[in-house]
Structure 1
């Protein structure tokens, strides 16, 4: 067994017991333990980690730990391009797309409203989520730490908040989503990009009050649902405005 000193930064501390948060601590490591093995043994999913420094040098997850190593572990740097330093994965994830597990349907709905490509099906099994995330380059959203420890998942977020609106705010703050949000651009049901449509083409499908008072419409090319700026749009607009204020 060897001893190494660890220090975790920013939100990674949320995964640690109180006495190990925001401070350096030394612990024993199994012989031939890798950085990834120890980071996850300490409770932090590897998908939450963007940069690992051992004795001041950027290393990959597979780096074997040696006696006296000092390990600094960092989360994503959304406002800073650290591509030249990256060793734990090939590059930062710049195309922000998500896949949410079965318990985060409300969050998935809100992310689509904000314009983020988000896969969700409450029948998805963990294995399917991991495979789709790896295949399509998606960020896994879950409250299941074990799911985030699956080897093939490269990017993921453990969602701390319990209610959808709070979860959305959490993600906007952690991932700096405001700059890339495109509100009301996706179908809430199919996740497909919406297209404008002439009112005359769908007039017969509209409720009388909508037909009388609304002029601008969008439709989904997959499910053919029609959207307009009604009461639901107004309530969602009010929800998003505080999150988009700084962009």
Structure 2
């Protein structure tokens, strides 16, 4: 037997909808008594992007069953409504990124965030790492974020890597949690003060007697230089300071 209910999506959730369905109340037909999560994702909206669902004015979880006649309001993660429960716990500030977000991974590591990334990782591997290592999965693949096993995730709307950094910091409220130049941008290992031997760094740099750091995982050396100033300038253009 077919039923109907009214759906309204708010904020950036409209980006996932077909244009005729955006920013308006939509009459939605369905059979049986599906979960509200199932119906939300039938619109193309990944569950990872949803922070609050109101059915007839009351907050419900993803497992809530629809029976027809309800008014459903769906809010994105950046919405904060006092006194109403969120659908999941606070997402971890440890990340795993899909294969298309390599530049974002390097920038986030530069800011000190623990970011797992491999340019040959499969979708199954990304989902498993997100689940077992308690990492937030960042992706521009809607289908990947709709997988039921993904608890914490985020769709990255921006395409420019620097603006992606700004988006991630804003969405997960990380502006006060950066620790610049404490992680290796190549392998994600932690950096520690170290004294290089000859051959570890260019002779011209070694003679300057500046502070060096070395990755505890891959052994790569880091030191202050023009590349750091350039990175600071590029990120400052989008309001990110290191």
TM-score by length of 1: 0.88
The DSSP-based 3-state class of the residue aligned with 2:7 is strand
Runs of 4+ residues deviating >6 angstroms: 81-84
Secondary structure at the residue paired with 1:179? helix
SS in 2 for 1:202: coil
The residue number in structure 2 matching 1:144 is: 141
Quote the residue 1:239 is aligned against: 234
Does the CA contact (< 8 Å) of 1:54 and 1:69 recur in 2? yes
Root-mean-square deviation (CA), in Å? Answer: 2.1
Which residue is 2:150 aligned to?
Answer: 153
Q: What CA distance in whole angstroms lies between the structure 2 residues aligned with 1:214 and 1:43?
A: 56
Query: How far 1:77 moved relative to its partner?
Result: 4.0
Larger relative helix fraction: 1
In the other structure, the counterpart of 1:24 is: 25
Note if contact 2:135-2:152 (Cα within 8 Å) is conserved in structure 1: yes
For structure 1, the 5+ residue unaligned runs are none
1:41-85 CA distances to partner (integer Å, 9 max, x unpaired)? Answer: 00100111121111121111111112111111112248x596961
Equivalent in the alignment of 2:51:
50
Cα distance change, pair 3–214 in 1 and its aligned pair in 2 (3 A): farther
Show the counterpart of 1:102: 99
Task: State how far apart, in whole Å, the 2-side matches of 1:187 and 1:83 are.
Answer: 40
Match of 1:92 in 2: 90
Q: Deviations over 1:172-230 (max 9, x none)?
A: 33333322222211111221221122xxx314222122123351111111111110111
Q: How many residues align?
A: 239
1:202 aligns with 2:196: yes
Closer, same or farther: CA 207–215 of 1 in aligned 2, 3 Å: same
Cα offset, 1:30, TM superposition: 2.4
